[in-house]
């Protein structure tokens, strides 16, 4: 089994937490979307959406996060023989969490000069790959339109506001639930938590903890609790501790700067 992912990809974190919690072995392949690696023809043929993560088990390829999560659950049943299907409560939380798209929220809190620099580089990568793989041109055109549409949406403060409000409602619902239970669904860590924790990590990465986490006491307590789990350390902790939090970003910016300077896309 192979997982194509990136440590800072929120959906990748969701899937990796689920895999670690379930004790499933897999081969890890890093794909950095900020450098356009997810647009390489070989990856794009496997996953025309170009999104991360991608889970492959033999000839079976899955690239929708919620589908991978559900597949992991079925795989666990197959490997262990335990017939413990996902409860309706866990499924309800998974769908609720998946209902919030972090893209606009994240990009709106990234300095515009960095956001524009990366966006311009990615558009040039797509155009370059289109020339290298003309048979995939129509799919690359779709990704190019998506890139331009995303920039237009970021200019609309109402769209950004809606994303922030939806996140606040999700966190408020979680705060109410955590006032009654240790984790999102009872006293055991479930796939619902694997889906939810990366949202808190993204908020932390954007330095917005005070606004969204610490103002919710049960959420703050919950966050401290999950940080002590071995799965958190493997998937998130070792990449976000101290100077390592900035290492990947610095390496990526240096890579983009050099490639842009020499027009190597």
DSSP 89-124: HHHHHHHHHHTS--HHHHHHTS-HHHHHHHHHHHHH
Work out the mean pLDDT of the chain and round it to a whole number: 91
Residue among 39, 239, 252 nearest 125 (CA): 39
Q: Let me know: does 235 contact 51? Beta carbons within 8 Å.
A: no
> What SS3 class is residue 259?
helix
> What SS3 class is residue 186?
strand
Q: What pLDDT is attached to residue 81?
A: 63
pTM of the model: 0.92
Token pair 């970003």 in the structure block, residue: 249
Domains annotated for the chain, with CATH where assigned, are 2-262 (1.20.1050.130)
Residue 147 is encoded by which pair of tokens?
A: 């890139």
Q: Let me know: does 31 contact 6? Beta carbons within 8 Å.
A: yes
Residue 41 is encoded by which pair of tokens?
A: 């023809």
Q: What pLDDT is attached to residue 82?
A: 64
What is the layout of strands, in order, in the sheet containing 27-30?
27-30, 2-5, 54-57, 60-62
Q: What pLDDT is attached to residue 80?
A: 65
The rounded distance, in Å, linking the Cα atoms of 187 and 183 is: 6
The rounded distance, in Å, linking the Cα atoms of 17 and 6 is: 13
The rounded distance, in Å, linking the Cα atoms of 135 and 113 is: 34
Which residues in the chain come in under a pLDDT of 50? none
Q: What pLDDT is attached to residue 191?
A: 95
């Amino acid at each position: 089994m192979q997982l194509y992912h990136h440590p800072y990809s929120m959906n990748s974190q969701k899937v990796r937490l689920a895999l670690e919690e379930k004790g499933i072995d897999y081969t890890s392949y890093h794909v950095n979307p900020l450098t356009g690696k997810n647009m390489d023809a070989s990856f794009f043929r496997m996953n025309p959406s170009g999104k991360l993560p991608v889970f492959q088990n033999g000839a079976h390829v899955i690239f929708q996060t919620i589908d991978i999560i559900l597949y992991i659950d079925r795989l666990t049943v197959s490997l262990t023989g335990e017939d413990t299907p996902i409860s309706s409560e866990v499924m309800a939380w998974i769908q609720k969490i998946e209902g919030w798209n972090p893209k606009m929220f994240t990009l709106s809190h990234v300095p515009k000069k960095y956001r524009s620099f990366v966006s311009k580089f990615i558009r040039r990568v797509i155009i370059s790959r289109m020339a290298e793989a003309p048979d995939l041109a129509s799919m690359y055109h779709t990704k190019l339109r998506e890139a331009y549409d995303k920039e237009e949406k970021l200019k609309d403060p109402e769209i950004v506001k809606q994303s922030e409000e939806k996140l606040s409602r999700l966190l408020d619902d979680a705060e109410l639930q955590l006032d009654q239970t240790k984790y999102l669904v009872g006293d055991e860590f479930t796939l619902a938590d694997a889906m939810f924790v990366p949202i808190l990590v993204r908020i932390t990465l954007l330095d917005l903890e005070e606004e969204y986490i610490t103002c919710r006491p049960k959420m703050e307590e919950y966050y401290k609790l999950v940080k002590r789990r071995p799965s958190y350390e493997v998937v998130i902790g070792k990449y976000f501790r101290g100077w390592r939090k900035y290492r990947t970003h610095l390496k990526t910016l240096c890579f983009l700067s050099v490639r842009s300077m020499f027009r190597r896309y």
